[in-house]
């Protein structure tokens, strides 16, 4: 990792609002941030300067030179930003040697205010949809699930002079939209505008369409489908669909800026024309049906003269108060998977294996079609004992796409307004299917991938890949629980337990900022967070312990990882309201009232008493609320909630901890919560904690060694065992292959993390189909320890934004491991390998950061760095020794340590 060339300190990776060159933001004081790079040891910024210019070149803000060696971001505090304006900005950084380097970027504002909108909400004449399409002669009626067709909308307009010098399209929908301009698709967003609680907030997005507008006649066109707005969502039979509305609506403005300085605005209004589309229905759970007999080619381009069946658009309102610019990255088609195998299973039926469970759709080239011929694509995660597609666990999600042939014999079919969770697809209706004619299209929110992990054990590498694919499959607009069955909800506990792993895999700052708006919006007036966000209409939802607590835990963890205090500023009031809600209903400080559905340690083989789980989380949320208030200088709140947290810890010890150190329930999760949340008398350095750690180790060893936790305990088990001096047990759990274990599903063909430890066994087959997802990320929260424990790459306790690092590899019996993470400050990397009795450890620390490095060794006196004794190496300060390790502090730069291999797991 050490480079030969000496490069000066330089800024890079400039971002605005956690995004690279964002187009259309509504934040009036955006955060401008940058990373740092240098190949020189000890390099750090001495000062920085940020300047911002408007599109006319006028200086909007100049921080001047600021001496702050820790800063990698500033909040804009210049002249008020103007709507629909591009700003150029530049950061200059001066190193300790006096050399200065600069980098530049841009951001563009959106509408900035609901008052800026001129467009009306429009939709199709819904009375036209009451006319049911009769089947053709000899045709079996189509099961449309009671859904209405998707509709097309179009608006011709003229540009009399030359094309505009700039064109911006601001668009959203109650439902899903796909925009086209002169026959060309606008943008690459999928399932746009994404899922929000439309009663509280509707996201809009901005598109640069300058290159699509021509002189003369133009056509702006859209297809509109149900989506989360009026389609099927969730699993509650009392309210399975139409949670927010009954039919989708579109809102759009096209702003054209001409060379002579004038601006023209094309808006959605009553002049648009609409028609039912060839998409007879499109639903996220049921699937999508395209009937090409009903197509009208050329409808989205100039010169289209077929007015038959086109009706005036219906204006449904002019309300704009809920419109906000989207902050989370959009869902995109990010990868394509070739068919691994195509197997004929009938005369016109084929089974396709993509080799990977994922969220998305297929793109199929159908050959030999005749008018009215049907091609049906069913999706599933697994095969049954007979090798047929297994769909029982989808429950009421049909996950079936249908193509009905029209005039063309060869058609490329790719659904646009649905997605499925699947590995296998069964295609019926084609005599022949070549593998090259079908492709898996992977969809997920386009979060930048910033982490890499690898090690010498192929099984653990497969586990890491399964964790990553689970994250990709379930970060689809919101953090869902699963992508396949009739659920796909934003469960709060799943998100909070997996968040530490998610942050190491990808940059999820903007993604979770968007979701936290939903969490806050779903909080009840009396302070209760929900179990799922966005909320569903008509579904009662009071947060359970560990679920509702995500409203506190998620903002705190995001603050620690990204160093952005706004995660706390925006959520502190909601955090306080949640703690007050629990306290108000449980004045004796044991959380037993108003616990919602109380899922406890969900799906744990050994259940933990509910009051233990609840009270532990009550203490944790209260403590973190106190810390958040302290960070923000709210000393009154910090004192209040800090005192309350102390009382809850005392109550927990009195009610649930015996004089002999046993915790009520005597389960792994009970000890994990007590130790991870520091609930025992004397803290984690006290005698009670020591006894708890010993008992935890006994329980793990007695189980195999094995894990008997559920969703709430699983992410804690390896880090807590490690902190208690038993990383050997954490490694043993990683390598276990019998259920419950992480490797058991992999030995049974899993490519993502299962919902249940035993979702399938040779003895019992599939678990109950009522709840048996094969793509759930919660149990994948072990991924955090792969980075932090196995590879040794961690944020130091008490630090934020990776200002201080903890490099502490836990080799176990592995031969090598490595991890790289692009933090908000710069790139952090570790790599260690053992060979011929020597352990080599490479470390990269970004400029302005420091790291405490634990070098595993059997002989601390023999550790060398860069070929010289460690106590004489540049940038290295020896701090002391520990059991089987040498501790040292390093400044920024690249380091190479060599040491005698301890050969055994590091204590």
At 293, phi and psi to the nearest 5?
A: -70, -20
**Strand positions, DSSP E, 151-201:** 151-159, 166-174, 176-181, 184-185
Which residues, at least 6 apart from 91, have a Cβ–Cβ distance to it below 8 Å?
11, 14, 32, 34, 48, 49, 50, 102, 103, 104
What would the two tokens of residue 80 be? 């008020």
Burial 160-186 (b: 16+ CB within 10 A, else e): eeebbebbbbbbbbbbbbbbbbbeeeb
- Length of the chain, in residues: 907
Residue among 178, 288, 487, 784 flagged as catalytic: 487
Nearest to 351 by CA among 435, 274, 252: 435
Asked if residue 309 lies in contact with residue 274, where contact means CB atoms within 8 angstroms, the answer is no
Cα distance between residue 604 and residue 707, in whole Å = 9
Burial 590-624 (b: 16+ CB within 10 A, else e): bbeebbbebbbbbbbbbbbbbbbbbbbbbbbbbbb
755 is catalytic: yes
**CA 260 and chain centroid, separation:** 44
Which residues, at least 6 apart from 633, have a Cβ–Cβ distance to it below 8 Å?
none
Asked if residue 859 lies in contact with residue 837, where contact means CB atoms within 8 angstroms, the answer is no
Residue among 178, 190, 755, 865 flagged as catalytic: 755
The DSSP 8-state label assigned to residue 150 in this structure reads P
Residue with tokens 């340690």: 601
Cα distance between residue 672 and residue 650, in whole Å = 17
The DSSP 8-state label assigned to residue 247 in this structure reads S
Task: Classify residue 689 as exposed, middle or buried by CB count within 10 Å of its CB (0-12, 13-18, 19+).
Answer: buried
What's the farthest any 2 CA atoms get from each other in the chain?
89
Nearest to 108 by CA among 30, 193, 179: 30
Ramachandran area for residue 727 (φ above 0: left; ψ -120 to 50: alpha; else beta): alpha
Residue with tokens 């909108």: 117
**CA 652 and chain centroid, separation:** 34
Nearest to 310 by CA among 342, 275, 284, 285: 275
Q: Within 13 Å of residue 150, how many CA atoms lie on the same side as its CB?
A: 29
**CA 668 and chain centroid, separation:** 28
Q: How far apart are the first and last CA of the chain?
A: 27
At 148, phi and psi to the nearest 5?
A: -90, 160
Tell me the three-class secondary structure of 336-392, residue by residue: EEECCEEEEEECCEEEEEEEEEEEEEEEEEEECCCCCCEEEEEEECEECCCCCEECH
414 is catalytic: no
Angstrom CA distances, 262 to 155, 218, 259, 621, 826, stand at 21, 19, 8, 54, 44
Cα distance between residue 689 and residue 675, in whole Å = 7
Burial 300-338 (b: 16+ CB within 10 A, else e): bbeebeeeeebbebbbbeeebebbbbbbbbbbbbbeebe
Helix (H) or strand (E) holding 583: helix 572-585
Active-site amino acid positions: 487, 755
């Amino acid at each position: 990792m050490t480079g030969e060339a000496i490069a000066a300190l330089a800024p890079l990776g400039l971002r605005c609002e956690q995004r690279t060159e964002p187009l259309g933001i509504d934040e009036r004081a955006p955060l401008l941030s940058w990373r740092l790079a240098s190949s020189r040891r000890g390099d750090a910024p001495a000062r920085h300067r940020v300047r911002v210019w408007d599109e006319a070149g006028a200086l909007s803000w100049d921080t001047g030179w600021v001496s702050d060696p820790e800063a990698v971001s500033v909040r804009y505090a210049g002249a008020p930003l103007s709507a629909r304006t591009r700003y150029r900005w530049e950061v200059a950084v001066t190193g300790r040697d006096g050399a200065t380097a600069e980098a530049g970027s841009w951001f563009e504002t959106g509408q900035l205010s609901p008052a800026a909108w001129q467009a009306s909400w429009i939709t199709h004449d819904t009375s036209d949809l009451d006319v049911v399409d009769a089947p053709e002669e000899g045709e079996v009626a189509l099961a449309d699930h009671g859904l209405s067709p998707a509709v097309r909308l179009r608006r011709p307009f003229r540009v009399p002079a030359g094309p505009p010098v700039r064109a911006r399209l601001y668009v959203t929908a109650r439902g899903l939209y796909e925009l086209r301009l002169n026959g060309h698709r606008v943008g690459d967003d999928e399932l746009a505008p994404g899922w929000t609680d439309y009663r509280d907030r509707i996201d809009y997005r901005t598109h640069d369409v300058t290159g699509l507008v021509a002189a003369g006649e133009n056509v702006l066109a859209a297809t509109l489908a149900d989506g989360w707005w009026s389609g099927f969502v969730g699993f509650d039979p009392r309210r399975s669909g139409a949670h927010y509305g009954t039919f989708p609506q579109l809102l759009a403005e096209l702003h054209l800026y001409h060379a002579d300085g004038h601006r023209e605005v094309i808006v959605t209004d009553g002049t648009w024309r609409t028609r039912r589309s060839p998409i007879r229905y499109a639903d996220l759970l049921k699937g999508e049906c395209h009937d090409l007999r009903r197509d009208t080619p050329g409808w989205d381009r100039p010169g289209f003269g077929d007015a038959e069946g086109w009706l005036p658009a219906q204006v449904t309102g002019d309300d704009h108060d809920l419109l906000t610019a989207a902050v989370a990255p959009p869902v995109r088609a990010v990868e394509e998977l070739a068919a691994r195998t195509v197997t004929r299973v009938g005369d016109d039926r084929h089974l396709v294996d993509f080799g990977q469970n994922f969220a998305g759709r297929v793109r199929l080239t159908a050959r030999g079609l005749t008018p009215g011929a049907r091609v049906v694509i069913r999706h599933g995660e697994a095969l049954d004992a007979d090798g047929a597609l297994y769909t029982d666990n989808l429950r009421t999600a049909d996950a079936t796409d249908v193509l009905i042939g029209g005039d063309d014999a060869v058609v490329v079919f790719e659904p646009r307004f649905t997605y499925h969770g699947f590995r296998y697809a069964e295609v019926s209706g084609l005599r022949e299917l070549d593998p090259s004619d079908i492709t898996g299209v992977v969809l997920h929110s386009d979060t930048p991938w910033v982490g890499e992990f690898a090690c010498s054990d192929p099984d653990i590498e497969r586990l890491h890949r399964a964790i990553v694919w689970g994250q990709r499959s379930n970060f689809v607009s919101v953090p869902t629980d699963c992508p396949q069955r009739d659920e796909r909800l934003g469960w709060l506990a799943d998100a909070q337990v997996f968040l530490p792993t998610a942050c190491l895999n990808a940059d999820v700052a903007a993604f979770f900022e968007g979701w936290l708006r939903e969490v806050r919006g779903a909080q009840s007036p009396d302070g209760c967070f929900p179990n799922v966000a966005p909320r569903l209409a008509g579904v009662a939802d009071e947060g359970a312990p560990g679920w509702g607590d995500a409203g506190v835990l998620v903002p705190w963890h995001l603050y620690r990882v990204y160093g952005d205090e706004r995660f706390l500023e925006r959520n502190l009031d909601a955090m306080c309201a949640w703690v007050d809600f629990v306290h108000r209903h449980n004045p004796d400080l044991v959380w037993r009232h108003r616990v919602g559905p109380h899922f406890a340690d969900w799906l744990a083989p050994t259940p933990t008493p509910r009051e233990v789980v609840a009270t532990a989380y009550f203490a944790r949320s209260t403590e973190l609320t106190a810390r958040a208030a302290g960070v923000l200088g709210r000393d009154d709140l910090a004192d209040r909630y800090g005192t309350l947290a102390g009382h809850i810890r005392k109550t927990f010890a009195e009610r649930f901890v015996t004089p002999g150190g046993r915790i009520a329930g005597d389960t792994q999760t009970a000890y994990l919560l007590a130790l991870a949340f520091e609930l025992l008398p004397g803290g984690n350095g006290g005698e009670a904690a020591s006894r708890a750690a010993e008992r935890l180790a006994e329980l793990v060893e007695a189980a195999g060694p094995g894990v008997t936790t559920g969703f709430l305990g699983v992410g804690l088990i390896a880090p807590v065992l490690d902190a208690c001096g038993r990383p050997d047990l954490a490694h043993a759990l990683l390598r276990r292959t019998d259920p419950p274990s992480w490797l058991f599903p992999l030995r049974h063909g899993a490519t993502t993390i299962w919902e249940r430890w035993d979702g399938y066994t040779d003895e019992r087959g599939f678990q109950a189909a009522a709840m048996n997802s094969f793509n759930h990320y919660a149990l994948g929260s072990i991924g955090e320890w792969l980075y932090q424990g196995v590879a040794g790459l961690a944020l130091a306790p008490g630090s934020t934004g990776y200002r201080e690092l903890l490099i502490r590899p836990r080799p176990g019996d592995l031969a090598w491991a490595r991890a790289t993470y692009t933090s908000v400050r710069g790139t952090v990397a570790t790599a260690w390998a053992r060979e011929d009795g020597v352990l080599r450890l490479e470390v990269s620390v970004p400029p302005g950061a420091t790291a405490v490095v634990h070098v595993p060794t059997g002989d601390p006196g023999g550790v060398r760095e860069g070929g010289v004794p460690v106590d004489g190496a540049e940038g290295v300060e020896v701090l002391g020794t520990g059991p089987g390790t040498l501790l040292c502090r390093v400044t920024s730069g690249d380091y190479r340590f060599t040491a005698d291999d301890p050969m055994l797991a590091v204590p």
